[in-house]
A and B are shown apart, each in its own frame.
Chain A
Amino acid sequence: MTCSAVKQMNNLLSLLGDYTFQVVAVGSCALGIISGISGSFATLRQQSLLGDSISHSALAGVAIAFILTGSKTTEVLLIGAGIVGLIATYLITQLSRFSKANFESVMAVVMSSFFGLGLMLLTYIQHLPNANQAGLNRFLFGQAATMLSTDVLLILIVAVLIILTVCLFFKEFKLFVFDRDFASDLGLPTGLLNFILSTMVVLTVILGIQSVGVVLMSALLISPAIAARQWTHHLSSLIGLAAILGGISGLGGTLISSSITNFPTGPAIVLIISLILIVSLLIAPGRGIIWQRQQLHRAKLNVAADMILLHLLEVHKSTFSAADFAAIHASQAPLYSMDQLVKNLQERHSIEKQESLFIVQESAIQELSGHLKKEEPDNA
C-alpha cells in the first residue's frame, strides 16, 4: 500500500470514530430510509416528479425565510421551504385541474418558475452587506456535515412516524395505491390516505434538502424505489428494499463527501444510488435488460436444439450417432455450433451419450411427441 492510501485509511477510520460524523451518518442513513419508503409510494402512484417540483420550489422558501427572519437556523429555513413547497404543489394541482394543460407541463412550468425565483433571491442575499449570509448555498447541492444533532433528532422522529404509519395502514395504502376507485367503493377514507402519502413525500423532501440539496433530492426519493422494483414483486419487500438501498446511499454519500473537502453530499449520494440503479436495471432477474437478453438467447438455442432432435427422432428413432447429427446440423441450425447444441441437449437431459451413440431420453420424447403426431389443420 502506498503512503497516501494508508493516510486515507487512517483518515477514514478517525472519521468513523468521530462523534460529530456519527451523528451526521445516522441522520443521512435515516433520511435515505424514509426516502426509500415515501418514494416507493410516490413512484407507484406515478408521482415521481412531484417530489422534484416540491424540492426545487423549496429553495425559494429557504431564501424568503432567511430574508424575513435573518435566521440561519435550519428549522426556520425548512419551515419556509415546506410552506413554499406546499404552495407550489397546490398551484400545480389547481392549475392542471382548471386549465387544459396536462399535469406534467404545469409541473415543469411551476417548478422552474419557483426554482428561478429561489436562485434570484439567493444571489440577492449574497450581495447583502451582512456577514451572516454565507452558507445558504448548501441547500443547492446539500452539505450533510452541517446537520446538527437537533436536525438528526427531527429526522429520526419523522422516520419512526413514517415507519409506524406504513406498518399500521399497509393494507389500506396498498389497495389505495393500486385501485383508488375500488378503495373508495369499500369505504376507505381515500382523501385521508392521499393526504398521508403526500405528506410523507413533502416531509421527506423538506428534511432532505439540507443534506442532499434541492437539485438532487428527487433522485434519492425515486431511485431506491425504481431499483428495488427490479428485484421484487411484492409491495412489502419493495418498500423494505427501497428503504435499505436509500439508507446505504445516504450513509455512503455522507462518507464520501465527509472524507473529501468541500465535496457536496447530494452528488455523492446520487452517485451511489445511481450505480445501484444502473446495476439493477441491467442484471436483475426477470426485469434486468441483460438478464432478459440471456433468457431470449437461451430460448432460441433450446428451440434450435429441439428442432434438430425432432428431425433425428423421425429419421433415426431414439438412437443416433454424432455423424447423423452433423449431417443435418448445417441445414437445420446453422447459427449454432454442433457442440453448443449437443451441450444444450445434454444439459436439459434430453439426450445421453453412451459410447459413440446418443440416446434420446424418454422425457424428451414425451415432450416432443406433441409436435411429432400433430393433427394437420384444414387448409382452405
Chain B
Amino acid sequence: MNEKNAIIVEDLTVAYSLKPVLWDIDVTMRKGKLTAILGPNGAGKSTLIKAILGLIKPVSGSVRFNFDHTGSDWHKEVAYVPQSGSVDWDFPATVKDVVLMGRYSHIGWFKRPSKHDIDLAMHTLDLVGMADFSSRQISQLSGGQQQRVFLARSLVQEAEIYIMDEPLKGVDKQTEKIVIDLLKSMRDQGKSVIVVHHDLATVKDYFDDVVMINVEHVASGTVSSVFTEKNIDLTFQRHSYDLLSGEANE
C-alpha cells in the first residue's frame, strides 16, 4: 500500500441510467497536497466526489482511504463540503447551528455540543471571516457567505482529508483569497485537500496536483507535469464521447 496516497480510486464506474457518467476511473490523490479536480460541466466531478464519499453506490470499482492512524473511523476523518446549492437555506437555523453540525461525529448520540465545541465553532467562524454572523439566520446569507459557513462546518470536523465541491463558486476575489489561504495552511498542517475547481487561470497558483476527468480519467499528477495545453484540450474540448461505441463523435 502506498503510504503517500490519501485516496485510492480503482476501476470506478458510476451510472445513473444506462449511460455511465464515470467510466473506469483509476486515480490516486496524494497526502498533504492541495488537489484540484478539473473538467467541464457534466464531466462527473461531483459524481466522483460523491462516489468517493459513498453517497452513491458505484456500478463497480472501489475507493480506499489511507489515514495517519490505522483504525481511524473514516466518517470522522473525511470532511465534505457539498455544493452550497444542494441544501435549502431557508431552513430554520443560525450560522452557529450549522457550523456545529460539523462536530456531531465528535459529540456523539444523545449529547449536546460542549463548551469546547462551541468555542471551536466561533474560532473557526473567525478564521473564515464570519465571526460577526454567528447568530445570523442562514436564510439571510449571501452566496459567498453560505460557502464560508460550509467551509467552517468542515473545518470544525478536524479531519485528515477534506473533499470540497466548488467552494469558490460565486465568491468575490477577497473571499477567494481568504479561502485559498486557509486551504493552503491546512495543507501545510498535513491535511489532504481535494477541491473541484473551475477557474483554469488560477490552477497553477493554488494547487499542487490536478485530476482531470471527463467521464473518463484524462490525466492526473502534479500541476507542473500534467496541467498542459494538450491535456486541457483533451479534457475540455473533446466532444461527447460515446462510450458504448467507443468512438469520439464530432
Distance of B83 from chain A, by nearest CB (Å): 10
Proximity bits, B62-106, A CB within 8 Å = 1, else 0 = 000000000001011011101000111001111001100100110
CB distance from B41 to the nearest CB of A (A): 20
Does A178 lie within 8 Å of B55, measured CB to CB?
no
- A177 in contact (CB, < 8 A): yes
B104 near A188 with CB under 8 A, answer: yes
| B112 on interface, CB distance cutoff 8 Å | yes
Q: Is A184 an interface residue (CB 8 A)?
A: yes
- Name the prevailing secondary structure of the A interface residues: helix
For chain B, what secondary structure do more than half of its interface residues adopt (helix, strand, loop), or is it mixed? Answer: mixed
In this complex, how many residues of chain A approach chain B with their Cβ under 8 Å: the count is: 24
Choose from B88, B93, B139 the contact partner of A174 (Cβ within 8 Å). Answer: B93
Indicate whether A127 reaches chain B with its CB closer than 8 angstroms: no
**Given A174-B93, A177-B91, A181-B86, do A186 and B75 touch, yes or no (CB 8 Å)?**
yes
Q: Are B137 and A186 in contact (CB under 8 A)?
A: no
Q: Who on chain B is nearest to A44 by CB? A: B91
Given contacts A171-B104, A187-B73, contact A182 B93 (CB under 8 A): no
- Nearest opposing residue in chain A for B101, CB measure: A175
Contact B101 A182 (CB under 8 A): yes
Flag if B93 contacts A235 (CB, 8 Å).
yes
A335 in the interface (beta carbon within 8 A): no
- Which A residues between 172 and 212 are near B, CB-CB below 8 angstroms? 172, 174-175, 177-179, 181-182, 184-188
Cβ-based interface call for B54 (8 A): yes
Scoring A residues 228 to 272 as 1 if CB is less than 8 Å from chain B, else 0, what string do you get?
010011110010000000000000000000000000000000000
Using known A-B contacts A46-B88, A179-B82, A233-B137, determine if residue A187 contacts B93 with beta carbons closer than 8 Å: no
Question: Which one, B73, B101, B107, contacts A179 given CB within 8 A?
Answer: B101
Q: How far is the CA of A228 from the CA of B157 in the complex (A)?
A: 32
Interface residues on B, range: 20 to 34
Are B105 and A186 neighbours in the complex by a CB distance under 8 Å? yes
Q: With A and B bound together, what is the CA distance between A113 and B249 in angstroms?
A: 46
> Is A181 in contact with B101, judged by CB distance below 8 angstroms?
no
The reply to whether A238 and B92 contact each other, CB–CB distance below 8 Å, is yes
Please name the residue on chain A nearest to B135 by beta carbon. Answer: A233
Q: Is A168 at the interface (CB under 8 A from chain B)?
A: yes
User: Which residues of chain A come closer than 8 Å to B87, judged between CB atoms?
Assistant: 178-179
Given A179-B87, A232-B92, A233-B94, A185:B104 Cβ within 8 A: no
- Inter-chain CA distance A171–B93, complex, in Å, is 12
Chain A residue contacts of B80, Cβ below 8 A: 181-182, 185
A188 to B104, CA, bound (A): 9
Chain B residues closer than 8 Å to A234, beta-carbon distance: 92-94, 97
B110 CB contacts on chain A under 8 angstroms: 168
B127 at the interface (CB under 8 A from A): no
Return chain B residues, CB-CB under 8 Å to A46: 88
Q: A169, A171, A174, A234: which has the most chain B beta carbons within 10 Å? A: A171
Q: Are B92 and A172 in contact, with the CB atoms below 8 A?
A: no
| Nearest opposing residue in chain B for A179, CB measure | B87
What's the least CB distance linking B161 to chain A, in Å? 11
Tell me the nearest residue of chain A to B74, going by C-beta. A187
B104 touches A175 (CB 8 A): yes
* Minimum Cβ distance to chain A for residue B24 (Å): 25
Contact of A181 (CB < 8 Å), options: B73, B82, B137? B82
Q: Are B55 and A181 in contact (CB under 8 A)?
A: yes
The answer, yes or no, to whether B53 is at the interface (CB within 8 Å) is: yes
Asked whether any CB of chain A lies closer than 8 Å to the CB of B123, the reply is: no
Residues of B within 8 A of A168 (CB): 110
Which of A46, A175, A178, A185 has the most B CB atoms < 10 Å from its CB? Answer: A185
Structural contact, A171 and B112, CB atoms closer than 8 A: yes
Q: Tell me if A184 and B54 are in contact (CB < 8 A).
A: yes
> Whole-angstrom distance between the alpha carbons of A338 and B109 in the complex?
62
A179 to B97, CA, bound (A): 13
Q: How far is the CB of A222 from chain B (nearest CB, A)?
A: 16
Q: Which residues of A contact B104 (CB under 8 A)?
A: 171-172, 175, 186, 188
CB distance from A286 to the nearest CB of B (A): 9
Residues of A close to B55: CB separation below 8 A: 181, 184-185
Decide if B50 is an interface residue (CB 8 Å cutoff).
yes
Interchain nearest-CB distance for B159 vs A (Å): 10
Q: A187 to B75, Cβ gap below 8 A?
A: yes
Q: Which residues in chain B, 107-124, are within 8 Å of chain A measured between CB atoms?
A: 107, 109-110, 112
* A178 near B105: Cβ-Cβ < 8 Å: no
Once bound together, how far apart are the Cα atoms of A238 and B110, in whole Å? 20
A174-B93, A182-B80, A188-B104 given; 15 more Cβ-contact pairs under 8 Å:
A44-B92, A172-B104, A172-B109, A174-B101, A178-B91, A178-B101, A179-B87, A179-B101, A181-B50, A185-B80, A186-B104, A186-B105, A187-B73, A229-B92, A234-B94
Q: CB within 8 Å of A: which residues of B?
A: 50, 53-55, 73, 75-76, 78-80, 82, 86-88, 91-94, 97-98, 101, 104-105, 107, 109-110, 112, 137, 139, 153, 157
A-B CB contact pairs (8 Å), 15 listed? A44-B91, A169-B109, A171-B104, A171-B107, A174-B97, A178-B87, A178-B91, A179-B82, A181-B80, A184-B53, A185-B55, A185-B80, A186-B75, A186-B104, A234-B94
* Nearest 10 A/B pairs, CB to CB: A187-B75, A185-B80, A186-B105, A179-B87, A233-B137, A178-B91, A175-B101, A235-B92, A238-B92, A233-B92
